[in-house]
Amino acid sequence: MRPPVIRKKLDALRPPHLLDFERERTSFSWSQARAELQGLPGGALNIAHEAVERHARGARANRVALRWLGAGGDSIDFTYADLSALSNRFADALTRVGLARGDVLFLLAPRIPELYIAVLGALKAGVVVSPLFSAFGPEPIATRIRLGRGRALLTTRSLYERKVASIRTQLESLQTVLIAGNHEGAPVPEGALGLDALLDAASERFDTAATRPDELALLHFTSGTTGKPKGAMHVHEAVVTHYATGKYALDLHDDDVFWCTADPGWVTGMSYGVIAPLLHGVTMIVDEAEFDAERWYRILRDERVTVWYTAPTAVRMLMKAGTELARQFRFDRLRFVASVGEPLNPEAVWWGHEVLGLPIHDNWWQTETGGIMIANTPALDIKPGSMGKPLPGVDAFVVRRRVENESTVGVEIIDAPDEEGELALRAGWPSMFRGYLGNEERYRKCFVDSPRGRLYLTEDLVRRDADGYFWFVGRADDVIKSAGHLIGPFEVESALMEHPAVAEAGVIGKPDPVIGEAVKAFVSLKPGFAASEALRLELLGHARKRLGPAVAPKEIDFTTTLPRTRSGKIMRRLLRARELGLPEGDTSTLESGG
Ligand code: ATP
Ligand code: MG
């Protein structure tokens, strides 16, 4: 039996930033965090200035900011000075093609260097950046560009031809299309401009726009796990959260080599795959290629990665690839591993501890929060299965909504430990979203006044234990009500994953005339295990023993894959719709093959 807590042993030579959690929480203020950044004259604040210019004009100018690993085995290093010059050129080029402050630039590209240069250059010009995941089809691309009134799009020739050309006439706002990486010299598609030529003609000098802290900087679409994706609006001031969380939750020091495996098409890949690492002056790794267990282990080892930020789905795939493969590598430099996006099963935390030699630190946030809110931090003991504690500057509550006529009129705050309720955050942290694009009403409904101040309601259910650790129970939509119990799918999935045959599990509630909803599990198996009636019975028995008959699944189906979003989240609503023969709803973010 494993202990419930992983105790931390700290490296005395290298204490983490957040050594004394409680003291730092008490003394922390957002204004003090902001004072650690540079700012621009007149109270202006610009993300790209803090991420690049601040370093490019100082001692870190010649440090590698971005090491790009090409899918074909080549690699390119960009120093902070290089990023500064290139993003200046991009900003100048945007201005020359007629983009102005407040215009929206959409990005649709694989993880190529131009993508990173474009993000920084656009922000410098005060142009709003909206990244799209490059595997989207034409329809999701069109919907988002229309909703965001995209004025320009940066993409590649092949993506343009396959996905954009056919919808171009439907995109009335879209005036400019920039084609990146057209190195083979093939002609630029008609109606588009070649980026290389524009950059060559542009100036290496550019005065970063003196953006107001509350000026729009980024538009991020949510993952679409529970329904139609929402466009969350973020401002330049978010940089203060990116900075503080990079320090506290990821423990970034400027000699770190940091790898965030998320694609910048999603908020994690932007907040922590571009902005936070640069703010801390680290070297960040960008891998163009898709997931491959052996490649990933090689990158961790050969690039001497020190801090690694990944996702539960990736960890589960590594686990599936087997311990033998992992044991062929040594990760001498790795000192901190964190994960976000879905609940991290205790089994995965332990896997890190045993196989990588480091436990995995779960942390929680959403597109709407713009940055990490609750985290297992370096000096904090880990309770596997818990997402940790609210970071300095973040006040989190467990609440129950008071609903009248189907609208929330208030909340009851639950201070007692171990009770389930909705996670709410006191409004006002710098990276809080400032609206849902085109849906003011829905935005307003996310907030409620309470005796503890104005709260943002997250729609995630949690409980807080007596030590102040938060435990994820489930998304409000996914929670199963069975015979008077509220059952979070995560608990059931984690118990199933403890069985050696199980690679992944997705759990739903199925309407049942007697008990309201019956728990049903979909399970995929690890290599070497075959689906059989005997195994099904064994798993049912295993779950009953672990969870008790009220919570354990009544039914288990074997499946080769679970439907998941392109950002790697299990789409339980789809498992449910398919099981019940209901319409599938918005599937624009569904990973192909799901
Ligand atoms: P949509 O809002 O469109 O349904 P989404 O909520 O999945 O999609 P994101 O903003 O990308 O879109 O994901 C945030 C959500 O992911 C959180 O609200 C939570 O449900 C889940 N999540 C993120 N991190 C964790 C974590 N550490 N533990 C449990 N759940 C997490
Ligand atoms: Mg959401």
Q: What is the DSSP code string of 392-412?
A: TT--EEEEEEEEETTEEEEEE
Which tokens go with 592?
A: 């192909």
Final residue of a structural domain among 318, 343, 361: 361
pLDDT band, very low/low/confident/very high, at 380 (cuts 50, 70, 90): very high
Task: Please report the pLDDT score of residue 155 as a whole number.
Answer: 98
Ligand nearest to the CA of 232: 1
Give the residues across from 110 on adjacent strands: none
- Using the mean position of ligand 2's atoms as its centre, give its distance from the Cα of residue 21 in Å: 28
Average pLDDT along the chain: 95
Q: Is 339 left (phi over 0), alpha (psi -120 to 50) or beta?
A: beta
- The model's pLDDT over 46-77, given as tens digits with 9 standing for 90+, comes to 999 999 999 999 999 999 999 999 999 999 99
Contact 196, 562 (CB under 8 A): no
Structure confidence at residue 483 (pLDDT): 86
Question: For the whole model, what pTM was predicted?
Answer: 0.95
Does some domain include residue 6? no
- Which of 452, 474, 496 lies at the terminal end of a domain, its last residue? 474
How do residues 118-131 score in pLDDT, each as one tens digit?
A: 999 999 999 999 99
pLDDT in tens, 252-305: 999 999 999 999 999 999 999 999 999 999 999 999 999 999 999 999 999 999
**Residue 484 and residue 470 share a domain:** no
Sort strands 283-287 and 257-260 into parallel, antiparallel or unpaired.
Answer: parallel
415 and 484 together in one domain: no
Do 224 and 161 share a structural domain?
A: yes
Query: Which residue bears the tokens 């092949």?
Result: 158
Ligand in nearest proximity to the CA of 267: 1
Q: Is residue 506 part of a domain?
A: yes
The CATH number for 400's domain is 2.30.38.10
User: Has residue 109 been placed in a domain?
Assistant: yes
Q: Is the pLDDT of residue 227 over 90?
A: no
- Span 556-581, mean pLDDT? 94
Q: Cα–Cα distance between 67 and 512 in angstroms, integer? A: 54
Per residue in 146-205, pLDDT tens? 999 999 999 999 999 999 999 999 999 999 999 998 666 678 999 999 999 999 999 999
Cα torsion at 333, 335, 338, 344 (round to 10°)? 100
**Same domain? 57 vs 139:** yes
Do 188 and 229 belong to one domain?
yes
Do residues 427 and 510 both lie within one domain?
no
Distance 9 CA to ligand 2 centre (A): 35
Ligand 2 geometric centre to CA of 353 (Å): 30
Task: Note down the domain range covering 342.
Answer: 21-361
Cβ atoms of 66 and 116 closer than 8 Å: yes
Same-domain check for residues 151 and 269: yes
Instruction: Give the residue from 474, 500, 522 where a domain finishes.
Output: 474
For residue 569 and ligand 1, the question of a CB distance below 6 A is answered with: yes
Helix (H, G, I), strand (E, B) or coil at 494: helix
Is the domain of 318 the same as that of 291?
yes
Return the beta strands (E) in 319-367 as ranges: 336-339, 360-364
Mutation probe of ligand 1 site: the residue of 218, 225, 564, 573 with most atoms within 8 A of C-beta: 225
- Measured between alpha carbons, how far is residue 531 from residues 23, 141, 265, 345, 535 in Å? 52, 38, 36, 22, 6
Res 239 pLDDT > 70: yes
- The reported pLDDT for the residue numbered 186 is 79
Task: Judge if the beta carbon of residue 224 lies within 6 A of ligand 1.
Answer: yes
Confidence tier at 15 by pLDDT (50, 70, 90): very high
Determine, yes or no, domain membership for 383.
Answer: no
Contact 195, 179 (CB under 8 A): yes
Same domain assignment for residues 326 and 345: yes
**247 touches 255 (CB < 8 A):** no
Domain count, the chain: 3
Is there a single domain that holds both residue 406 and residue 513? no
Residue 8 is assigned to a structural domain of this protein: no
pLDDT of residue 187: 86
> Maximum distance among all alpha carbons in the chain?
72
Q: What percent of the chain has pLDDT over 90?
A: 92
pLDDT band at 594 (very low <50, low <70, confident <90, very high): low
CB-CB contact of 481 with 488 (8 Å): no
pLDDT greater at residue 336 or residue 9? 336
Q: How far is the CA of 495 from the centre of ligand 1 (A)?
A: 21
In a domain, 585, yes or no: no
Instruction: Give, for 375, the enclosing helix (H) or strand (E).
Output: strand 374-375
Q: Are residues 203 and 56 in the same domain?
A: yes
Q: What is the C-alpha separation between 315 and 312, in angstroms, rounded?
A: 5
Regarding whether 315 and 186 lie in a shared domain, the answer is: yes
Specify whether the CB–CB gap between 494 and 347 falls below 8 A: yes
Q: Is the beta carbon of 563 within 6 A of some atom in ligand 1?
A: no
Q: Does the C-beta of 182 come closer than 6 Å to ligand 1?
A: no
- Give the pLDDT confidence score for residue 567 in this predicted structure: 86
**Atom 14, ligand 1: residue with shortest CA distance:** 366
